[in-house]
């Protein structure tokens, strides 16, 4: 018979049950990279790199996007060649203080134009869509755990379900605030008992309880409010018990029509999320790395409905207190018709995988070549270096 | 799982409160194909909304124009477009954004929102009360295959009718008819930007070029969004053997298909069977070549002919068979089942009733399992049926589905919601079901829960579940536990 199981014993029980890796002693934290954190922000829908970071110094830009040029007139400049989208105010400030690095004309190994295949490849890190079952961020959890002498980093998806990039062998929790009133402790304890013989449900349940307890189950936070999201992510990553590797998704970048307003709206949301996250991390910001990437870029030319269609290369953003920022890393391919990929898209000149692998390797002090090989197997070329101080 | 439990749960939405489990599972499933009602009372009684969409789009366009005159559109913080998106996006800032609108717009937006929420409740209530739950599952499967979303401005009056009038009547008919009805319905034309796509050489384009005072913000040309998704998501599937040139040619063939009652060309529109309009003035003239076949110029008939051929393409048979098998027989469906369904689809010219009968006759679909993790929507319908709750407010149904993480007609992409356990078997998804189950049990009949459990999962209830139902401190607690028992989570 079940009697007097309170929340505390329940928590203690589920911790021992569901996350044995987390119960390992934390040895010499300060000497390892165990306090360093990574947040991966996936922009789903193919965010337009040419709108995010406009190559205003390229004479081809005006020809392709003339109507939009005025938007960048008083926008923050990154170097003399690029202008940041004016809605990205806070990102611009981070760039000015040297904490935001941009990479342009970057693309994964994928060269077709399907969102779903491209996201699959970017999330799994495989060399072809659907070739790999687990995600590169999950493999990073394992890799970092090995480097931290078996101390597995806590990994968290800030989403109702775990996105593919974080799926795999390493344990991962998911959390999204719920507007439902909290279930009673007694009922939750009984549910835990009911799932005891069911390994899948028991493990999901243990992780749900643990994450809820950590977040203080604040139902007021809303996933739909970008700024609250940023603060929520920070609250779940702060401190020694916070997640060390986390991921959040931002949908809505597939701007096939009326891109000018739609992109500005998206960019404002992203900017608010990143700003609130940066503030929320406080002192820990200097040990935090944020990676913002998308599955592919969009056509260089606007289509007939003021939007852009599926393209190839786009821009990526790396932010953090220890990032060597304030600059753009690019081998600019140019925007003249003959320079465009298949005559329509920004041509890729940097592998996005080498940016992601290079950044996390430097941040966690891992061997860059090995990191690239583990996270994104089968890639030729070297990881990008000089990202982190 | 026993055969009866499989028929109830894997093929349907679980046993309804007070109903009896069938004696012959296969006969019970097959009988549903004959007794299915495409327009049951709640759908037949739905208020007519045809014609309101054009008015709505015009309203939104006017609003956008007015906001633009007040401020730079890209920077307007809570202007018309933001309010519009907030309205359709169930945003927290919705109230604030709405309050800032002129009253006549506010009234229209609120009406549109109410219609969409009422339609959502109709979908749920029909499924909860259904005596043909297998066919309801088919409706929802195809509705997700031809996914449209309320996230796009102006779609509120159309997403419900898309499922009710373009999907429901065809789920046991020919795939080609389903394809044409679903793709050329105003909801899809709006969702995937087709309604404002214009043939570059269309007469309308030529005339406008000659006019000096053309509105520079008006649609100017081709949009290939719908064409690409038809090939990638609705018919051939990615890798199904098409190229960029086929996408562009299909986009050209589709020009002219739009939503009635919008724009300057609206008065030239010809009504089409799908509820859409065809405007010859914006249709790209000439023959089109798609997948090596040439289609002569024939106005609206050109796109219809292409869709008929895409429906009959071998890649389509393979793509549909795989997806259909995955929905019933596991995330990685047995290749023997896929091959049998594919052959059936090809041999019958895409007869979906035959496809369903072949599925029912296939041993792979009757593997003891369970084979699938229930999606949030499936779980919610099964839980509503089993609990015996009824008469919920439409607002509440919509809110709960949002909290569970799967609001119908709001999938994050045109691919619809994922049909894989990996997407749904997550800690937070589970937690929300537990929270909701406890609340649902507060208002539902809670007697004889153990007997109800035995009836809902005949010869398939685990000892663990039975034990914990017996130990519950109240009928309500037992019901809440039953709603989240492992038997309810998988099928």
pLDDT digits (tens, 9 = 90+) for B416-454: 999 999 889 999 889 999 999 988 988 788 888 999 999
Q: Provide mean pLDDT across the span A243-272.
A: 88
Residues 421-440 of B with CB under 8 A from A: 422-432, 434-436, 438-439
B485 Cβ neighbours under 8 A, 6+ residues apart:
A194, B453, B462, B465, B468, B469
* Coil, helix or strand at residue A102: strand
Instruction: For domain A38-183+222-375, give the fold.
Output: Alkaline Phosphatase, subunit A (3.40.720)
Which pLDDT score, from 0 to 100, does residue B471 have? 84
Residue A112 — left, alpha, or beta (φ > 0 → left; ψ -120 to 50 → alpha)? beta
**Which chain B residue has the Cα nearest residue A254?**
B413
pLDDT per residue over A37-83, tens digit each?
999 999 988 999 999 999 999 999 999 998 888 999 999 999 999 99
- Is B422 buried (19+), middle (13-18) or exposed (0-12) by CB count in 10 A? middle
Determine whether the interchain pair B403/A306 forms a contact, defined as Cβ–Cβ distance below 8 Å.
no
pLDDT at B433: 96
Indicate the pairing of strand A100-107 with strand A245-250. unpaired
Give the model's confidence band at B75: pLDDT under 50 very low, under 70 low, under 90 confident, else very high: very low
Under the banding of pLDDT at 50, 70 and 90, the label for residue B95 is low
Q: Which of A2, A261, A303 sits opposite B223 (nearest CB)?
A: A303
Give the C-alpha separation, B275 to B166, whole Å.
9
Place of tokens 């409740």: B121
Q: Which residues of A touch B222 (CB under 8 A)?
A: 303-304
Task: For B237, name the nearest residue in chain A, comparing CA atoms only.
Answer: A114
Suggest the residue from B204, B371, B427, B483 to mutate for an interface test with chain A (most A CBs closer than 10 A). B427
Q: Which DSSP string corresponds to B183-252?
A: HTSHHHHHHTTGGG---TTSHHHHHHHH-TT--TTS--S---HHHHHIIIIISS-TTSS--HHHHHHHHH
pLDDT in the model for residue B70: 60
* Chain A residues 224-263 with a CB less than 8 Å from chain B: 224-225, 251, 254, 256-257, 260-261
pLDDT score, position A215: 59
Q: Is residue B178 scored above 90 in pLDDT?
A: yes
Whether residue A356 is predicted with pLDDT greater than 70 in this model: the reply is yes
Q: Please report the pLDDT score of residue A16 as a whole number.
A: 31
Q: What ipTM was estimated for this complex?
A: 0.85
Tens digit of each residue's pLDDT (9 = 90 or more) over B352-400? 999 999 999 999 999 998 999 999 999 999 999 999 988 789 999 999 9
**Tokens 């954190």 map to which residue?**
A37
What is the widest separation between alpha-carbon atoms in chain A? 77
Q: Quick one: pLDDT at residue B77? A: 37
Closest to B427 in 3D by CA, of A16, A217, A201: A201
Q: Which among B60, B89, B46 has a CA at the least distance from the CA of B195? A: B60
Q: Is the dihedral of CA A167, A170, A176, A180 positive or negative?
A: positive
Whether A17 shows a pLDDT value over 60: the answer reads no
Residue A376 at interface with chain B, using a CB cutoff of 8 Å: no
Domain limits of chain B?
A: 43-173, 175-329+332-369, 376-489
Q: Look at residue A315 and tell me whether its pLDDT is greater than 70.
A: yes
With contacts defined as CB-CB under 8 Å, which chain A residues touch B422? 162, 164, 167
């Amino acid at each position: 018979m079940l009697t007097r199981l309170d929340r505390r014993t329940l928590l203690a029980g589920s911790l021992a049950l569901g996350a044995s890796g987390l119960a390992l002693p934390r040895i010499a934290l300060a000497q390892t990279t165990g306090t360093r954190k990574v947040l991966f922000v996936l922009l789903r829908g193919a965010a337009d790199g040419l709108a995010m970071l406009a190559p205003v110094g390229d004479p081809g830009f005006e020809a392709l996007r003339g109507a939009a040029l005025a938007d960048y007139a008083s926008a923050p400049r990154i170097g003399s060649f690029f202008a940041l989208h004016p809605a990205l105010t806070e990102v611009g400030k981070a760039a000015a203080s040297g904490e935001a690095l941009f990479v342009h004309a970057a693309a994964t190994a994928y060269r077709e134009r399907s969102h779903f295949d491209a996201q699959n490849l970017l999330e799994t890190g495989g060399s072809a869509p659907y070739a790999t079952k687990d995600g590169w961020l999950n493999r990073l959890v394992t890799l970092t755990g090995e480097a931290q002498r078996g101390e597995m980093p806590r990994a968290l998806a800030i989403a109702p379900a775990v996105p593919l990039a974080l799926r795999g062998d390493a344990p991962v929790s998911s959390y999204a605030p719920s507007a439902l009133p909290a279930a009673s402790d007694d009922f939750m304890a009984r549910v835990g008992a009911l799932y005891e013989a069911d390994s899948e449900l028991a493990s999901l349940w243990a992780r749900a309880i643990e994450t809820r307890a950590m977040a203080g189950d604040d139902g007021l936070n809303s996933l739909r409010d970008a700024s609250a999201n940023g603060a929520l992510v920070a609250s779940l990553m702060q401190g020694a018990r916070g997640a060390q590797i986390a991921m959040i998704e931002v949908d809505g970048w597939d701007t096939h029509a009326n891109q000018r307003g739609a992109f500005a709206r998206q960019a404002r949301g992203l900017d608010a999320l990143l700003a609130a996250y940066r503030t929320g991390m406080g002192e820990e910001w200097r040990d935090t790395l944020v990676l913002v990437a998308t599955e592919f870029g969009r056509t260089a030319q606007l289509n007939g409905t003021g939007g852009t269609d599926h393209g190839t290369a786009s821009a990526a953003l790396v932010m953090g207190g220890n990032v060597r920022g304030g600059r753009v890393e690019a081998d600019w391919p140019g925007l003249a018709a003959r320079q465009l990929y298949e005559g329509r898209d920004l041509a890729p000149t940097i592998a996005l995988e080498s940016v992601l692998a290079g950044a996390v390797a430097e941040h966690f002090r891992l061997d860059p070549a090995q990191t690239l090989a583990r996270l994104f197997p089968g890639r030729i070329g070297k990881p990008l270096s000089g990202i982190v101080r | 799982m026993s055969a009866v439990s499989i028929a109830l749960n894997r093929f349907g939405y679980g046993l309804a409160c007070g109903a009896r489990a069938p004696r012959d599972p296969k006969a019970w499933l097959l009988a549903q194909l004959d007794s299915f009602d495409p327009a049951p009372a709640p759908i037949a009684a739905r208020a007519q909304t045809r014609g309101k969409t054009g008015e709505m789009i015009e309203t939104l366009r006017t609003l956008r124009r007015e906001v633009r005159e007040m401020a730079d559109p890209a920077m307007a913080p809570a202007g018309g477009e933001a309010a519009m998106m907030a309205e359709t996006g169930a945003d927290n800032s919705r109230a604030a954004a709405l309050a800032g609108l002129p009253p006549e717009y506010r009234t229209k937006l609120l009406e549109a929102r109410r219609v969409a929420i009422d339609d959502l409740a109709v979908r749920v209530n029909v499924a909860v009360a259904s005596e043909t739950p297998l066919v309801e599952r088919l409706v929802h499967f195809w509705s997700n295959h031809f996914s449209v979303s309320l996230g796009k401005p102006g779609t509120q009056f159309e997403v419900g009718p898309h499922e009710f009038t373009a999907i429901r009547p065809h789920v046991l008919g020919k795939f080609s008819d389903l394809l044409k009805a679903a793709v050329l319905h105003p909801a899809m034309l709006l969702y995937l930007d087709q309604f404002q796509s214009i043939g570059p050489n269309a007469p309308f384009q030529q005339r406008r070029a000659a006019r000096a005072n053309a509105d520079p913000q008006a649609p100017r040309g081709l949009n290939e969004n719908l064409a690409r998704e038809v090939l990638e998501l609705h018919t051939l599937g990615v890798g199904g053997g098409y190229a960029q040139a086929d996408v562009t040619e299909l986009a050209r063939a589709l020009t002219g298909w739009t939503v009635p009652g919008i724009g300057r060309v609206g008065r030239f529109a010809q009504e089409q069977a799908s509820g859409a309009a065809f405007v010859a003035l914006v249709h790209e003239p000439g023959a089109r070549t798609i997948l090596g076949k040439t289609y002569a110029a024939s106005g609206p008939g050109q796109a219809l002919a292409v869709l008929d051929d895409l429906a009959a393409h071998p890649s389509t048979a393979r793509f549909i068979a795989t997806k259909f098998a995955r929905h019933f027989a596991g995330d990685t469906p047995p290749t023997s089942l896929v091959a049998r369904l594919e052959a059936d689809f090809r041999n019958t010219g895409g007869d979906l009733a035959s496809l369903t009968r072949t599925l029912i006759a296939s041993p792979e679909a009757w593997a003891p399992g369970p084979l699938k993790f229930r999606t949030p929507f499936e779980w919610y319908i099964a839980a509503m049926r089993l609990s015996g709750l009824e008469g919920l407010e439409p607002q509440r149904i919509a809110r709960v589905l949002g909290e569970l993480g799967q609001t119908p007609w709001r999938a994050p992409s045109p691919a619809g919601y994922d049909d894989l356990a990996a997407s749904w078997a997550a800690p937070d998804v589970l937690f929300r079901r537990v929270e909701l189950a406890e609340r649902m049990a507060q208002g539902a009949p809670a007697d004889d829960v153990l007997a109800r459990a035995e009836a809902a999962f005949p010869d398939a209830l685990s000892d663990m579940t039975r034990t914990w139902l017996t130990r519950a401190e109240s009928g309500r607690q037992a019901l809440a536990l039953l709603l989240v028992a492992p038997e309810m989570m998988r099928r």
